[in-house]
Chains A and B, each alone.
Chain A
Amino acid sequence: MEEVTFKIAQESKVRKKPSFIKPWLGLKYLFKKPVTIKIPYEMTEPAKDYRGFHTLNWKTCIGCNMCGQICPARAIEMTWIEGEKRPHPKIDYGRCTFCQFCVEVCPTGALGFVESYMLTTEWKEEELQLFDWVPIPPEKFREIQEARRDWKFPVERMEFNKETGEVTYHLRDGTEFRFRILGYGLKPPAAKPAENKEAEKSAEKQE
């Protein structure tokens, strides 16, 4: 059998003698500059490709639900949007772990991510809606990120009309991003109820 030699450090070399004098060396940092980043006044730069919020290229997303299948937190739900042939992923940041497996697995590269990572809200229903979104296209997100460079979520306020499914993102540069959610899941939603609702609405308006 082959002989194996292990290297073992002698205990006398590892063990240190207790000392009363040496702890006083800890005072040497007293007059040095503190290594602190004063956060409200100084900003930190996240690393390039820091795993932050998602972006979605709406034109190349084919709605294959690969992201929804790989998501370990089940934070992705496919959403049918008016005017789009295929469903798009809707990401719930209450569950998302930012592992970005979904970005890795996306066959067309439609799902991506940017470095922004800050999303804080108060404990209000209308503000908590911010945590659940269909990501906006990467160009738009990058533009907002470059303009401010404070790494915050690009949507200031979200309006969601439960009756009609109309969603409005009030972006931080003042523009609005509108679309209408028809339904959730992999199966296309029945078109009739929505039309009925519209008809009802128009009827109400006429009245």
Chain B
Amino acid sequence: MIETALKVLFILLYATFVGFMFMGIIRIVTARIHRRVGPPIYQPILDTIKLLSKESNITHGFIYDFGILYAVGATILAVMFIPLGSIGVLRAYGDLILITFLLEIPMLGIMFAAMSSGNPWAGIGAQRALLTLLAIQVPLGFAVIALAEYYGTFSTYEIVMAQQISGWSIAHFPLLLAAIAYDLVLQAMFGKEPFDIMIAPGEISLGPMVEFGGKHMGLLNIQHAIALFAETLFFSNIFLGGGVVTAFSSPVLNTIAGLLVLLVKQIAVLLVATFMAAIFPRFTIDQAAKFYWKWPTIIAALGAILASL
């Protein structure tokens, strides 16, 4: 029991810390592409500390507070289900559909909070976010089906173990198609540039985030960090072979090596997303919906069909 609690604590701290480092990496890499120096890598942590220590906190009622806690909670729950190398609390139960679902729940929580603030910008942002959410479901569903069809299981952990034997998922052509579709979907899940329509800085003044400040925004930053970690972790688990290392005799060394391998894979996923965010301009919401129902859907559906043959 205590061991499980310690594991949960470790995963939570690790996910938060690495997630903040990821946010820092995104800022530095974006700055370098712009030929700037950028902030130090720990800048998001300082931002969050500053936000959490704000004196005035505006609230618009119960749902406004609850929505954010709901988002944070759902993200943490998602992390618990995804196998983190050989560490995992609920990994035996973490099937693909559940995790995909849990990774989208936070957006709903933020929507609740944003809508209850009564700000029209937040309303527009919520509308756009929900439409994006709707649009990414189709390719996401096909990608998940392709995986499940290929490996014959929905369990994430079993998929990771299967990749130990048969090589990474992206080495197989049908799953490569699914991975490409999933990577395009990730862009919207991160809230990164071509599909950052729901946040849209400069266009609808931060959309759902417009009304948040102080501790609410601080919690949302933490949520964003954990979500970044969870989404990259999920992608590296199902498509890039996870982080199971059995090269050393000591289990502790194996665990640490697994975490490092995973970290490298996660950063690779993150960098691809950052590059795309830095070089492509934002879609409008109708373009995004059309795009997601067109190319990623076709690619992922093709992958699913090929996987089932």
Residues of A within 8 A of B (CB): 23-24, 26-27, 29-32, 34-36, 38
Contacts and interface: CB of A to CB of B under 8 A. Distances in A.
Contact of A34 (B29, B32, B280): B32
B50 interface: no
B37 A30 contact: no
Interface of B: 29, 31-38, 275, 278-280
Given A34-B37, A38-B37, A27 B31 contact: no
B33 A30 contact: yes
B43 to A, nearest CB: 16
B33 A34 contact: no
B279 A29 contact: no
Contacts of B38: 34
Nearest to B31: A34
Nearest to A25: B279
Contacts of A26: 33, 278-279
A34 B37 CA distance: 6
Contacts of A29: 32-35
Contact of B37 (A23, A31, A36): A36
- Tell me the interface secondary structure of chain A in the complex: loop
Contact of B29 (A23, A30, A32, A36): A30
Given A23-B280, A30-B29, A36 B36 contact: yes
Ordered nearest first, which 7 A-B pairs have the shortest CB separation?
A26-B279, A23-B279, A36-B37, A34-B37, A29-B35, A35-B35, A34-B35
29 contacts: A23-B279, A23-B280, A24-B275, A24-B279, A26-B33, A26-B278, A26-B279, A27-B33, A27-B275, A27-B279, A29-B32, A29-B33, A29-B34, A29-B35, A30-B29, A30-B32, A30-B33, A31-B32, A34-B31, A34-B32, A34-B35, A34-B36, A34-B37, A34-B38, A35-B35, A36-B35, A36-B36, A36-B37, A38-B37
Nearest to A36: B37
A27 B38 CA distance: 16
A32 B35 contact: yes
Contacts of B278: 26-27
Nearest to B281: A23
A27 B278 CA distance: 8
A74 to B, nearest CB: 38
Nearest to B32: A30
A100 to B, nearest CB: 33
Contacts of B34: 29
Contacts of A36: 35-37
Contacts of A32: 35
A25 to B, nearest CB: 8
A30 B38 CA distance: 12
A40 to B, nearest CB: 13
A198 to B, nearest CB: 52
A32 B36 CA distance: 10
B187 to A, nearest CB: 14
Nearest to A28: B33
A36 B280 CA distance: 24
A23 B280 CA distance: 7
A185 B244 CA distance: 85
A11 to B, nearest CB: 23
A30 B31 CA distance: 9
A23 B31 CA distance: 16
Nearest to A26: B279
Contacts of A27: 33, 275, 278-279
A20 B236 CA distance: 25
Given A23-B279, A29-B32, 8 more contacts: A24-B275, A26-B279, A27-B275, A29-B33, A29-B35, A30-B29, A35-B35, A36-B36
Nearest to A37: B37
B12 to A, nearest CB: 33
Contacts of B29: 30
Contacts of B32: 29-31, 34
Nearest to B34: A29
